[in-house]
Structure 1
């Protein structure tokens, strides 16, 4: 139906990824999420490990000669992340470094395998965002070899070069990982504050408590406060705590998101107060399948036919004065909408004349799904639509026989622009 197009705005409010005592959303990141991050994180980790190596001071010729060393390539064939219950995330990585040593006699290329281990703690900042920090970090270097395997360099020089490079990496690699984590914290910090939802509405996210970490997942309790014209949407707080069951969600899924009834109610109230669910429906007069005209109405309401002997377009002004009611059930949800519909017809002088108005009650089934990291919903009408005449300028209207010329456009699937 036409209101389904507005539900995209509602659903966008509930997630964009993340008052503060009761969570309205629980976001649970599972092992599959760590596997995904492990795969896409190899490239940024490789870039972060491209550190600068100071000159090597070579005494082998009896004269002190500074020798330049540069990292040619860093390849990370393995990156593994795992949850540490009650703490955070452990990082295990294997990296292969290729160095070029610019010796006066002949340049030398060396390869060096390195193992990295870092434990990161996930906590909550003073501004209620998740914060990741390095708790412990260490690197373990293997044996350096010449790139071509020729072993032409003297053993003594190779030992000195290896000692120099390992000392540099021991100091710099963990610092590079720490800087990489700080970049993550900068991104996490953008989750707070007011984020625009519509022209006059915003949403603010904050964490309710320190994240819960188990061996299987990390759980973030998030509160979302909606604002309209700078004022928060406040509903009575439900005393029942919102808790996501431990074993819930599709096996192998990267994330499980729980949305509370309170969050749905707040979002619906925001949409109703902002007028986002209001719309004007206008039919095309010359369309063969258009029933939204005075001729179609005149066959059901004689006074309309008398006042409009020639077909004229009809406009439905739909206004939602009552907040929609959402009920969440297993595997689906229902919405109850009670719009006020004014029916107008174009007069000969291009002005619009009010014919009658209706109080409407409609129940919708809402099926939720996820597509491209966005929550979306499809609706269908449940049962009969209840129509009651609120006022009439065209005499008696028998709604018991139905008003199909109005019901079809009202319940159709066309996306229409919101009314003023």
Structure 2
């Protein structure tokens, strides 16, 4: 297994003059050559262009320091075809870059290629395999982004989450995934599935690495706070805890005990009904919006949709505006109630996924432990360092209060360090 690349360490080495961006690009190209044939993390790739762009002077002075970045194939790119994981768009060449692509380029990042996605970021799997064990799913929908980082092909990759499409593949592939607060980073220029839920996410080796990328992209102070005291953590299992495997339970318990030994304040908390009711609201909001977001594909290209998506959209069209509006009201109340609940805590500690990555490539796994937090718009981080009974990664999830992304990242870094010390 190729070692993952630390974005922080590479950027520091470039700025100190110990490494050149071209050397980092060459290292990525070597890993891509070695593993891409098996893993299939990319929908489009141009290694030669990456190597040429890495020679550009002045990269070291920019926030990304010339690091290669993968971009999920739901975001428009002028330099690469953009198919959204769909046969309908297999020849599509956008006329403009998505906002996130321009943000990467302006800040000195080098887009190496488009990472594979499930069809329209829904459930029909891409061809991507899990680098930890290629007979298992990498998760989805940001399959290629998680896999490219896990395989050491790239130090950073961009994904998106509508239900669990960042945190779940990060857990399955053993990488750090960060879903920022809703709208912290613009989704402009992406293929919309649900405008109230779609959120950009970041993949990297560790918590400090995703924080580095979030700082570089947004210009906000999101680095780990070195002055922070041990966090106050609310452990929330939710009523869906029965879906967690023994591996997921063991990972959460291990993280809890490690945090306690590191002097964090840890307390088990139950969600109030006002928050819990939003779990069902997620499916309603997503379905109503997806039926409209993909109306053209449904009306004009229905036969080119996968059976899974076609059935979903047919059922989604039955959601009435009144039902949707009621779900939005439930969501609004849940967001306020959750903010009140976590006011006394720095972050929530909970499951990232039901367990290890499932065997086979027919499914990308369940988002049962992700969708509520996505609907609440909360920042979420998958923390690595734990494994299940068969040796595959099992992450734990840190959830913060909306808009308090730095606190969530700092709590996640604390737990990451505590797990390593355990």
Q: TM-score, normalised by structure 1?
A: 0.20
Q: Which has the larger radius of gyration?
A: 1
Kindly indicate which of the two structures has a greater share of residues assigned to helix: 2
Q: TM-score, normalised by structure 2?
A: 0.20
Kindly indicate which of the two structures has a greater share of residues assigned to strand: 1
